[in-house]
Each structure stands twice: as C-alpha cells, then as structure tokens.
Structure 1
C-alpha cells in the first residue's frame, strides 16, 4: 500500500530529526526516540446527512491495520452505551494479560457490536438502550425506527450471546 511505503521511507528520517532536536543540550548527547508506539489518529467520517459513515470508518480502520504501527488505542464504542461494564472488563482483561478470558468475552461482544454499529446502526442502538433501561429515545429524521422483524433480529443478536 502506498501509505505504508511512504511512512516506512519517512519514519527513519523523522526519527533522526527528532533524536537531534530532543538531544541533550548540555552534554551534546542525543536521545533516540522510538516511534513504533505512536498511534495515528483516526477521524470519524460523516455522510452528507451528518450521520457517522460506519462503512467508510470500517474501511479506514482496515487500511490503518496495514500500517507499520504497533498496537491500537481507542475504538468505536457504541456498544459501551448498553454493555459498558463488559467493554471495560474486556480492557481490564487485556491490560492484565488474561488473554483467554479476554478472547471469550470479545467473541461474545462481536455480534451485538456489529448489530449496533453496522447492521442496525443508530436505531438499533437506541432500541437496545431502551431494553437495558436507558433512554434511547426516538430516531430523528431521516432515520426510521426498526421494523418488528429488525427488532427481533437485533434481540436475537444480544440473546444468543447471553446479554438478554
């Protein structure tokens, strides 16, 4: 990919410049800066109607995954509106190195997360917020409420993973 080739050609020079500018002024010794932990920002794309363009966001994240950076920070946490404790638990499990438990929890969260971020979007998120005792509220135009069939499919995504 062009971006990764450009970054790999720019990174060594940038590292040299930064190590010179961050160098010790009194001793004349420079410190090397490790850029492998730098995480590039990802902006949220919007549609012409000012809604989050989840398809474009997913595409951007896939592209970002090919960059030579190490790790990741942040996320699209719409699911945290309804399963906030579980999303935080996933982070704690990862931070403490409990990878098997983290993987099990992650697998249970994938289907509901896909439902509220991609499949049913904001109307789906609002419906699940209502189910979990929060106020999702009505959808603003041009968004439409879920049909009964969509609502049942959404409920199945949460129920089949043990959340409802």
Structure 2
C-alpha cells in the first residue's frame, strides 16, 4: 500500500504524464487519456533509480484505454499458475485484435479464476495445480486443505468450463 507522501507524488506525476500528448502527437492534438474515476489494478513501473517511470505508466494506461469492451481490468495472475498457456493465449488474442475469441476465452476463465482467488484461495489453487500436473502440495498452517465437498465444487468450476 502506498503511503500518503508516495501516493501524492504518484498522483502529481500522473497528472504531468497524462497531460502530455498521446501517440507522439504535439500537445493539444489528438485524444488524451481520461482516467477520471477509474482506478485500474495496475502495477507501478519504476526506473533503475527507483523513481516512478511515468512514461511507462502512461503507456500502460493507454493500452488499458484501448480495450474495446468493458471488463478487462487486469491479469488473472493466480490462474496463470494452472492455466498459464490459456492466460497467455488471452493476451495474444487481445494483442491481435481478435476480440470475440478473447471474450469467449475470458468468459471460460472467469469461473475457475474466481474459484482459486475468492472462493477457495490458496488451498483451491494448490488443489487445481495438483490436478493439472503441477506440484501444489499441502497447505501450510494456518491454512487447511479443502474439504471433500469444497474439492468437488472446485472440480465443477474447472470441469464446467472444459479445463478438466
């Protein structure tokens, strides 16, 4: 979590960075990135000297602003531990403008992603890793392994979407 002083400098830098032109145009030409009221889950890029890299941050925000449909708010990081190829395929589809295929794939990834992040957390992620040929292993205390009922619910989340 960013402290008040750090957040203040980030906010000022964002204001400076986003007031610049987009796409190499001169100031005042072309469209500008409007992030008013939007707080996307982006990681903050830093330079080698530990300063916020506002140019890279602006570039990331421009990419986010280019998505033609609502709902693309970030990565599916936990799910990449078990369905890494599919998560990479989703990125490729987006980068090549294959939006319908990307949306279909994203919709298939939502339920398993929710299962391993919100519903069952780390125990669910570890179990899914075991099923898909990776080593998830036992949970460390204080976490508990999934109950048989929870395991069956998790299995359905992956099976219903064609991953198991």
TM-score (norm 1): 0.61
Structure 2 residues not aligned, in runs of 5+:
1-10, 45-60, 65-72
Root-mean-square deviation over aligned CA pairs: 3.5
* Structure having the higher Rg: 1
TM-score (norm 2): 0.61
Q: Which residue of 1 aligns with 2:85?
A: 85
The answer to whether the aligner puts 1:36 opposite 2:33 as a matched pair is yes
Q: Using the TM superposition, give the Cα deviation of residue 140 of structure 1 relative to its aligned residue in structure 2, in angstroms.
A: 0.6
Kept after mapping to 2: 8 A contact 1:79/1:116: yes
Moved over 4 A (4+): 15-19, 37-43
Q: Using the TM superposition, give the Cα deviation of residue 135 of structure 1 relative to its aligned residue in structure 2, in angstroms.
A: 0.3
* CA 134–18 in structure 1, closer or farther in 2 if over 3 Å, else same: same
Quote the Cα distance in structure 2 between the aligned partners of 1:97 and 1:140.
Answer: 42
Alignment length (residue pairs): 120
1:73-121, Cα deviation, whole Å (9 max, x unpaired): 8524110111100000000000000011111101100000000011000
1:23-70, Cα deviation, whole Å (9 max, x unpaired): xxxxxxxx6398739988448xxxxxxxxxxxxxxxxxxxxxxxxx65
